[in-house]
Amino acid sequence: DGGITQSPKYLFRKEGQNVTLSCEQNLNHDAMYWYRQDPGQGLRLIYYSQIVNDFQKGDIAEGYSVSREKKESFPLTVTSAQKNPTAFYLCASSDRPASNYGYTFGSGTRLTVV
Amino acid sequence: QQQVKQSPQSLIVQKGGISIINCAYENTAFDYFPWYQQFPGKGPALLIAIRPDVSEKKEGRFTISFNKSAKQFSLHIMDSQPGDSATYFCAASELYGTDKLIFGTGTRLQVFP
């Protein structure tokens, strides 16, 4: 089955730690996205990548970093500079243009700071 | 200008009733308007989408109404069922832009039997 796999499903981070969230897709999509979901705030774009080895900041990129070394993989690192990282993180991918095909989302990673 | 405003934040509907969720936007360059449905603990899934060349699109019990002059669009769920209980997000993007979707803040729909 084609789809997007996010791992882990739950992640706990201590203060000052960097953590990396995994996102893998086997849909052969060019574009990939990371969104953060907080109650009452909808989905806010962190980073997106339209092609391998290229990515752009979204609306809330501070404290996050990404890489896109392979078409199927788009990992997100939440750094210690992100002051409020507790949230539900969603990875998505799309063929281009996305308006023809829509986004396919993963099942998310819930990150909690302990 | 990049915002999509969504209302209401939550909605309670009786089984068989009509659920209506509204969205408004400012950016006139937006020309693709999808709706996503999200169940608890899951990622959103594309439900239905519209482009501004039509004023309405219907798929089963789900209808998008689009008012280009008012820069508003809405989702109507006819004969609402308990299985429709979920969070719904409207979104918008530019057809020939970066493919970035700008999402509304979401509406939590609860349908009671």
Tell me the pLDDT tens digit for each residue of A30-61: 999 999 999 878 899 999 999 999 999 999 99
Does A90 sit within 8 Å of B43, measured CB to CB? yes
Buried b (16+ CB within 10 A) or exposed e, B5-24: ebeeeebebeeeeebbbbbb
Q: What is the pLDDT of residue A83?
A: 87
pLDDT given at position B99: 75
Question: CB–CB of A96 and B42 under 8 A?
Answer: no
Closest approach of B91 to chain A, Cα-based (Å):
10
Report the distance separating Cα A54 and Cα A43, nearest Å. Answer: 22
A1 pLDDT band, cuts 50/70/90, is low
A77: number of Cβ within 10 Å: 14
Question: What local confidence, expressed as pLDDT, does residue A35 receive?
Answer: 97
Q: What is the pLDDT of residue B31?
A: 87
Q: What are the residue ranges in chain B where pLDDT is below 70? A: 1, 95-98
The mean pLDDT of chain A is 92
The predicted pLDDT at position A44 comes to: 94
Q: Which residues of B lie inside 8 Å of A (Cβ-Cβ)? A: 2, 6, 9, 31-32, 34, 36, 41-46, 49, 51, 89, 93, 95-96, 98-106
Cβ contacts of A31 on chain B, cutoff 8 Å: 99
